[in-house]
Amino acid sequence: MNIVITGATGQDGIFLIDKLLRETNAKIFACTRSRENFDFNKLKYLSNNEDFSRIRVVEIDFLNYEEVFNFLKDVSPKLLFNLMGPSSVKSFIDRPGEMENITLSCFDNIINSLINLRNFCNIYHSSSSEMYGYDSKIPFDENSKFEPNSSYAKSKLKLHRKCEELLKTYEWPIISGVMFNHESEFRSSNFLVMNLIEKVIEINNGVKHQVVLPSLKISRDWSYAGDITEAIFELTINNFYGTYVIGSGKSASIEEISKYIFNKIDLDYNNFVNINSNELRAGEPMNIICNPTKIKKDTGWEASKDIYYAIDKMYDYKTLFQR
């Protein structure tokens, strides 16, 4: 069985490849903008015993339809994980029109190629909790309304709606996983938690003296990326389809996270954190949390590791393995 993964260099891609190597005999086509971006050391960090010869790293431009078509024709995948996305939401803030066009065009080239090849393979598509875009006292589930308030969220919703339409029109087994915040040791410094960890390490080393945050009151449904990958695997390997929210069902605030990280170096976060509300995105919801009842009912999956487990893994990875 051939499996294609777009966005394979991101944290979800790394965990998913590791899972597929452990649990299947599939040949994995790990797609990336540049082969140099794919780091086998991250897979070795998770396991030294897997057969990496089953991984083929593919450098591909998903904006080029002919290139995408020929690749999918040659590979003829039975399963495709679309994890492709921007390196950060900030890129959408800086270049909204360009990033939206790239996001939609890449998706369309994949789908149109598969349609023309008559290959209606199983697809997992990563949607985003950013699509909700508002505060709610009731945790978000598959029936909650979407009110995207950023270019990034609007683009993700357009793709989500396309997945719904493809499922309806072609009876295409597509899963849209509405993924809530999840972190891991492989997260880049473009994201808040890893960025905060790196700055705390710098403070501990005497390099930095202050940290600027947009707010301490924002809370999110945070979990560990390795857990989330288990959910993705369970959904796809058991041939589910449709929309699923994927998260822990528990929230943590930036203040709680800051306190936990600073405690690692025995310092009071209050002495080092400055708040700059100008860094808040317009319309930023203060509290986002999900209700993952559906995925638990259908697959038995539920998050087993919390954000503090993820922070421990992130901190250790940065201090012990990336010196």
Nearest-5° Cα angle at 70, 66 to 55: 125
Burial 19-31 (b: 16+ CB within 10 A, else e): bbbeeeeebbbbb
Is 93 a member of any domain? yes
Is 133 a member of any domain? yes
Average pLDDT, the chain: 94
Average pLDDT rounded to a whole number, residues 232-243: 96
91 lies in the same domain as 135: yes
- Residue 270 reports pLDDT greater than 80: yes
28 lies in the same domain as 146: yes
Query: What is the reported pTM?
Result: 0.95
Give φ, ψ of 310 to 5 degrees. -60, -45
52 lies in the same domain as 125: yes
208 lies in the same domain as 154: no
42 lies in the same domain as 148: yes
127 lies in the same domain as 206: no
Q: When comparing pLDDT for 106 and 97, which is higher?
A: 106
Domain total for the chain? 2
Is 310 a member of any domain? no
> Domain span at residue 259?
192-218+252-286+316-321
151 lies in the same domain as 179: yes
* pLDDT value at residue 90: 65
Give dist(CA 79, CA 77) in Å, integer.
5
Q: Where are the alpha helices (DSSP H) in the chain?
A: 11-23, 40-46, 65-75, 90-94, 96-116, 151-170, 192-204, 225-237, 254-263, 293-299, 307-316
* pLDDT value at residue 99: 82
37 lies in the same domain as 179: yes
CATH code for the domain of 37: 3.40.50.720
209 lies in the same domain as 111: no
Is 167 a member of any domain? yes
Give dist(CA 246, CA 142) in Å, integer.
10
What are the pLDDT digits (tens) for 147-201?
Answer: 999 889 999 999 999 999 999 999 999 999 999 999 999 999 989 999 999 999 9
User: For residue 29, what pLDDT band results from cuts at 50, 70 and 90?
Assistant: very high
- Residue 50 reports pLDDT greater than 90: no
- Residue 86 reports pLDDT greater than 90: no
User: For residue 88, what pLDDT band results from cuts at 50, 70 and 90?
Assistant: low
User: For residue 279, what pLDDT band results from cuts at 50, 70 and 90?
Assistant: confident
Residue whose token pair is 């679309």: 82
* pLDDT value at residue 278: 86
- Residue 6 reports pLDDT greater than 90: yes
pLDDT above 90 as % of the chain: 85
User: For residue 87, what pLDDT band results from cuts at 50, 70 and 90?
Assistant: low
